[in-house]
Structures are given as C-alpha cells and as structure tokens.
Chain A
Amino acid sequence: MRWVLVGVIVLCNSAGDILNTMGMRRHGEVHEFHPGALGRLVATLSRNLFVIGGIVANALSFFALLALLSIASLSFSIPATAMSFLLETALAKYLLKEHVGWKRWAGALLVVGGVVLLAL
C-alpha cells in the first residue's frame, strides 16, 4: 500500500506541476499582487482548464501524502516522494520544451540527494 501511495504522489505531483506551468504560460506573467488583482487572478485561473487540472492533481497528491504519513514514517515518505523532482525535470525538458542543461540536472540531483539525507 505504501508504494501505491508513493506512486500516486509522484505521478499526481508531477502532473499537477506540469499542468500548472502550462496554464500559467497561457495566462501570462503575473505582476500585480494587491487584493483586487489577486481576486481577478483567482477568477481568471478558475476558468483555466490546465490550472484546474493541476489543482486536482496536486490535491490528489496531497491527500495521498496525508494517507501515506498516517501509515509510514516521515523518513520513508519524504525521500520516496522526492523522486518527483527527477520526473518533473524530465517532463519539463520533453513536454514543456525547456532548456534543461547539465546545471539543472545537477541541481535536481543535488536537491534530491539533500532531501533524502534530510529525512534520515
């Protein structure tokens, strides 16, 4: 059951971040943060299907994480789900057409290694 939940967390977290990125690229850059602008931003994003899909995927990931934390230790849960970093970096390169050079791969690997050690 633990590994099923890990799989759900990794896949849904990755899908959620990819969808959110795609949605925000279609929306355009956000530069205003006063309450009125944030309200308009929320109203606009509520009609953005990519962001809605991203929210659903992230929510599934979140609840799966809550379930995992109720049956497994933090020292297992966090490293296992840190693998989503690598999956998302690969998806960013091939799906989002980002330029992912050796520095970004190195950064992702360093962060994953660091997250694993932090959880021990």
Chain B
Amino acid sequence: MRDIGRTVSFSPWPYLEALANPWIAGGVVLLAVWFLSQLSLLSWVDLSYFLPVTSVSYVLTAMLGKFFLDERVSFLRWTGIGLITLGVVVVGRTTPRTTSSHGPPGARK
C-alpha cells in the first residue's frame, strides 16, 4: 500500500487499481487459500477457540521477519510473542467445540 499511496476513497476504482500491483495480487491469492482453510476449520471448532489458536500466525510472522528479513525483535515484541503463545496454550487446553453441529443429514460429525 505504500507503493500505491494514500487511498481513502468510497469509489471502488482505486482499490481495483491496487489489485494490479503484483504484491497485492499475490496477497489476495494467499488470502483465498487462507479463507477456505478458515471456513473448513470453523466447521469443526468454536469461533472463540478458533480466534486465539490461529493467532499463532502473529508469532510466525515475527519469526519469519527475524530469520528471513533480519528484522530486530525488541524485548517488547518478544514479550508480545510470549503472551500470544501463552494465550494459544491456555485456549488450546479447552474443548474445541462446545456447540452441536447443525449440518445437513449425513454430514460428518
């Protein structure tokens, strides 16, 4: 978005133009993969379980930044990584699903 510049518009055209940027387009493709994976996981577990547990992606992003982009991870960020990890562990010890599935007959439980 830094390449595109200031983009605050209620018209769809600036956003469509942003999609012509290869970085943005690549991100959109990965988002599509992510979205299908998210929907599949939401069919198995509670939303309140899904949200914290999948937040491990923040930790992964920080680690990738450190090891592949040689980014400096400050003490505050290490603390943040620790808090997120602890949150994932705490929620991970709960039952993933506390509601019943309302899928169509024959859907796997």
**A residues apposed to B, CB below 8 Å:** 1, 5, 17-18, 20-21, 23-31, 33, 38, 41-42, 45, 51, 55, 58, 62-63, 66-67, 69-71, 85, 88-89, 92-93, 96-101, 103-104, 106-111, 113-120
Asked if A88 and B51 sit within 8 Å, CB to CB, the answer is yes
B88 near A111 (CB under 8 angstroms)?
Answer: yes
Chain B, residues 61-96, CB within 8 Å of chain A (1/0): the string is: 010000000000010110111111111101101110
Q: Identify which of A20, A41, A70, A104 contacts B48 (C-beta below 8 A).
A: A104
The contact of B77 among A93, A97, A118, by CB within 8 Å, is A118
A118: chain B residues within 8 A (beta carbon) = 58, 62, 77, 80-81, 84
Q: Which residues of A contact B80 (CB under 8 A)?
A: 113-120
Q: How many A-B contacts are there with CB distance less than 8 Å? A: 172
Known interface pairs A30-B39, A69-B1, A113-B83; A104-B103 also in contact (CB < 8 Å) = no
A96 CA / B84 CA spacing, docked (Å)? 24
> How would you classify the secondary structure of chain A's contact residues: helix, strand, loop or mixed?
helix
A117 touching B5 in the complex, CB below 8 Å, given contacts A21-B47, A28-B104, A29-B43: no
Please determine whether A41 and B58 come into contact, CB atoms closer than 8 angstroms. no
**B90 shortest CB reach to chain A, Å:** 4
Chain A residues with CB below 8 A from B29, complex form: none
Chain A residue numbers with a CB within 8 Å of B93 are: 103
Verify B42–A117 contact, CB threshold 8 A: no
